[in-house]
Amino acid sequence: MTLRRQLLLVSLLTLVLPWAGIQFVRETESALREGQQRMLAGTAQAIADALAQFPREFLVDRRPAAWQQGQLYAHALEAAPLLDGYFDDWLLPRESLVPLGEEGFARFALGSHRQYLYLYVAVQDDSVVYALPGAADTLHADRVEVVSVTGEATVRYVFAPEAPGSLIARRDDGAVSADETRIAAHWQDIPGGQGRRGGYRLEARLPRELAGDALGIVVTNTDRPDAPGTQGASFPGERPPRLVTPSVLLQSVIAGYLQPGLRLLVTDAAGWRLAAGGSLSPPASPGANAEVSGWTRRIYDLLLDTGDAPALEEPDPGGREQQDFVAQALEGRAASGWFLAPGTGRAVAVVAQPVWAGTVQSGAVVLQQGTDAILSLTHRALGRLMNFTLVASLVVAAGLLGYASWLSLRIRALSHAALHALDREAVRTELPSSGARDEVGDLSRSFSRVLRQLGEYNAYLRSLASKLSHEMRTPLTIVTSSLENLEHERLTGDAAVYTARAKEGALRLQKILAAMSEASRVEELIEHAELETFDLARVLASAVDAYAGAWPARRFRFDCAAGEAPFHGSPELIVQMLDKLVDNAVGFSAEGDEIRIALVRRDSDYLVTVTNPGPPLPERMREQLFDSMVSVRPEGDGRHLGLGLFIARLIAVGHGGSIRGSNVDGGVSFEIRLPA
């Protein structure tokens, strides 16, 4: 892995900063939310204490045991609906329509607005039967009855129209049956067809005092005018259910506690909603909307808490609150929590507090408030944290990348210089960054000292051969002459043998010294040679002819594809280079083998190749063949010191060329490239 990638990975450690900041923001949000819940709990307790003064509004003293089997709830309407048979202007959700009876063919809803009670009934009936004109008996017509109970008195209000449109209800108290002009109603048919059942809708308005304390609804359908009702739906049990209506007094009391972004609900002991007010929507604030929008909101929702439940349960459409926190409050325990408002992702804090009338629990108070202030604060903190962290991370990453690039360039330059310090015969000891006062500078200076010592040692080795040959030539000459003089003396048989061996060794030592000094002489010849222009092809052809006479046991072949090959250089040195290569080829070939010398021109260079059959070059030695004192011949062959190819490289490089060896099919080929 490169240094830049390593430092980029190290720069990822800066992400610890936003993580720590997020944890701090989460703890801050939790602390603020807990404080908000405590504040709401105190407010709910104060409201519960205030509402405890109105026990009759909670129906605490008017709940006979017989009434506890069922309740009928009238929703608080924001405006008086138009009596036209349509439910849209009630401004209630469709879920507030309650099935009537067990048959399920009729649904109804009750509403309360000011001094009136409103009734809406929708009935499925494929054949609507109307009452006969002027007939007092409505048993043979489709009808809707409202049963009102006050104390022990029961009154029925019958809606049986003669035709669609406005109608007047009949009042029947068991003794007298007459028109009730205080009740207004409208009957509308529902056409059927295309898989949809027909029927009718009834919308009526009753004065509140006519409803009584208990109210029942009965729907009767008949199939033909001459038969009584055959299908009906009514309230369960023998007595109508208790009528629960929102309390105007409680509504006015809680109005003084409402604040922007706060929703307040009051229920009785059974969970029926008696008063409600306020909204979770915060007051319009363009700045706040801007602070909680965009990509920071999505990141906020991912990173921060999601609440006690997936979503906040809205007030029940049927009017009876059955949420967990309301159920706890109705059991006499204060409850609190926070949730997510559906569709907005906004957090909502909720508290529920029981309301007591003396020692009897009369109901509960529920407060819901959005945490927009907390969200605004944490969003600003999170947004600034994200922005600062992003900028800081980018700056750190860019700085580390730039520093890594600069550092890697210095190290790469130092590596390249150290790699090519020995490319030429002279050792380069000046390396980049040697003047820097850091670790790279120390490394460069260390390399320079090592290369300087290596250069001095290499210069010593280069001159060692000539020094040894100079110093040993005179003693060796004395030994050789002494051995020659001994040959003329009368010697015993063993002495003559030993003298001959000593002379042979001395002659071999002379050859070794001559070979050692040859490389030095070649370098001097290259530096002081008088260059001339000659035909390279003719010189090579003449040399090949001489090789054929010198080694008659080998076959020599010269291929020239260059025609005339004018070359500027030293012909003696070129021939000496070829001598070394041919001598090497002869040494690694057998009698009868063919040694091929070729000359071609390729682009602006001459290529001279010497190919011979024989063992391939070892892979590990291929780059070291042309170094001094390196040989791949069998051990014990003291005639070759590994200087031949070294001298050949000196001559090729001295003429501006190069030399390399490679394995070919059935042998080895040496290629010399010379500039034409």
Give the tens place of pLDDT for each residue, 41-54: 999 999 999 999 99
Per-residue model confidence (pLDDT) at position 116 = 95
**What mean pLDDT is reported for the chain?**
80
SS3 349: strand
Q: How far is CA 36 from CA 41, 317, 332, 347, in A?
A: 9, 28, 22, 12
Lowest-confidence range among 71-85, 259-273, 339-353?
Answer: 339-353
Give phi and psi for 106, each to the nearest 5. Answer: -135, 145
SS3 63: coil
For residue 200, give the H/E element and its range. strand 199-207
The pTM assigned to this predicted structure is 0.54
Lowest-confidence range among 257-261, 278-282, 373-377, 617-621?
Answer: 373-377
Give phi and psi for 355, each to the nearest 5. Answer: -110, 130
Q: Sign of the C-alpha dihedral, residues 408, 409, 411, 412?
A: positive
Query: Which residue has better confidence, 93 or 422?
Result: 93
Asked if 402 contacts 419 with a C-beta cutoff of 8 angstroms, the reply is: no
Structure tokens at 527: 């530096």
Domains, the chain, in order of start with CATH, read: 13-54+247-380 (3.30.450.20), 65-244 (2.60.40.1190), 439-521 (1.10.287), 529-675 (3.30.565.10)
Structure tokens at 499: 């003298």
Lowest-confidence range among 284-298, 299-313, 427-441, 582-596?
Answer: 284-298
Range 471-489 average pLDDT: 78
Lowest-confidence range among 127-141, 206-220, 239-253, 357-371?
Answer: 127-141
**Interatomic CA distance for residues 320 and 254, integer angstroms:** 19
User: Residue 296: is its pLDDT beyond 60?
Assistant: no
Q: Tell me the pLDDT band of 642, cut-offs 50, 70 and 90.
A: low
User: Residue 281: is its pLDDT beyond 60?
Assistant: yes
Query: Which of 159, 221, 165 is CA-nearest to residue 188?
Result: 165
**Interatomic CA distance for residues 387 and 392, integer angstroms:** 8
User: Residue 584: is its pLDDT beyond 70?
Assistant: yes
181-240 pLDDT tens trace:
999 999 999 988 777 888 999 999 999 999 888 888 999 888 755 545 555 666 666 778
Lowest-confidence range among 117-131, 264-278, 444-458, 502-516?
Answer: 502-516
User: Residue 611: is its pLDDT beyond 50?
Assistant: yes
Asked if 440 contacts 34 with a C-beta cutoff of 8 angstroms, the reply is: no
Lowest-confidence range among 85-94, 481-490, 534-543, 634-643?
Answer: 634-643
**Cα torsion through 414, 420, 426, 431, rounded to 10:** -10
283: which DSSP letter?
P
User: Residue 8: is its pLDDT beyond 90?
Assistant: no
Asked if 138 contacts 170 with a C-beta cutoff of 8 angstroms, the reply is: yes
Share of the chain residues as helix, strand and coil, in percent rounded to the nearest 5: 40, 25, 35
Q: Tell me the pLDDT band of 629, cut-offs 50, 70 and 90.
A: low
Query: Which of 605, 525, 608 is CA-nearest to residue 570?
Result: 525
Query: Which of 218, 186, 215 is CA-nearest to residue 200?
Result: 186
Range 434-441 average pLDDT: 82
Q: How far is CA 549 from CA 56, 531, 544, 553, 555, in A?
A: 141, 28, 9, 9, 10
Per-residue model confidence (pLDDT) at position 407 = 83
SS3 116: strand
User: Residue 416: is its pLDDT beyond 70?
Assistant: yes
User: Residue 265: is its pLDDT beyond 90?
Assistant: yes
Asked if 470 contacts 489 with a C-beta cutoff of 8 angstroms, the reply is: no
Asked if 312 contacts 350 with a C-beta cutoff of 8 angstroms, the reply is: yes
Q: Sign of the C-alpha dihedral, residues 45, 49, 50, 55?
A: positive
Range 240-257 average pLDDT: 89
Q: How far apart are the two ends of the chain, measured CA to CA in Å? A: 45
The secondary structure of 192-224, three-state, reads CECCECCEEEEEEEEEHHHHECEEEEEEEECCC
User: How many residues are there in the chain?
Assistant: 676
User: Residue 366: is its pLDDT beyond 60?
Assistant: yes
